[in-house]
Amino acid sequence: MKTRALLTAALLFALLALPAGATSSATGGLVGAPAPDFEVADMAGNKIVAGQIFGKGKVVLVNFWGLQCSSCLEEMPHLVALKEKYKDRIEIYGVGTDGMPAEVVAAKMKKKGLSVNYVIIPDPDFKLVEIFKMTVAPLTYIVDGKGIVRTRHENFVAGDEKAIEAEVAKLLAE
């Protein structure tokens, strides 16, 4: 029992000691488990079903972002570059966490001059926020080609794009 308590305390300390922008396969209750099941619509109203995107051989990033989140907006061009670099080997889904319907998200993105080459999913009812246990923005889950959540990356600071790309490249090489 004493060993178990010490291990639990050590793990808790390690999790709390992670810096902002940390990428760790030890954080988040979903890491190491199959990607959660869901069915939602993208900005164009197309149905997105978890079973059709996860476990199909591609690495999938699920990125939670908000229009008022400066770190989220700073991260977006890096996600665009990542998608451009790896093209059809990865998929990226950006989940808008502002609680607005697609039309409003689209209008606000246009007004801010935001353009992406990946799928945007509005989450007006916070369905995906709840399913993926989002607690901070931006938040990116990286799911391997077999559909297993491998990494939870919280926050974004300059340079984090290198850690995210390294994880993607590692999973693509497996």
pTM: 0.84
CATH topology of domain 21-173: Glutaredoxin (3.40.30)
Residues of the chain under the 70 pLDDT cut = 1-28
pLDDT reported for residue 24: 42
pLDDT reported for residue 29: 81
DSSP result, the chain: -HHHHHHHHHHHHHHHTPPTT-EETTSSTTTTSBPPP-EEE-TTS-EEEHHHHSSSSSEEEEEEE-TT-HHHHHHHHHHHHHHHHHGGGEEEEEEE-S---HHHHHHHHHHHT---SSEEEE-TT-HHHHHTT--SSSEEEEE-TTSBEEEEEES--TTHHHHHHHHHHHHHH-
- Domain locations in the chain? 21-173
pLDDT reported for residue 2: 38
pLDDT reported for residue 69: 96
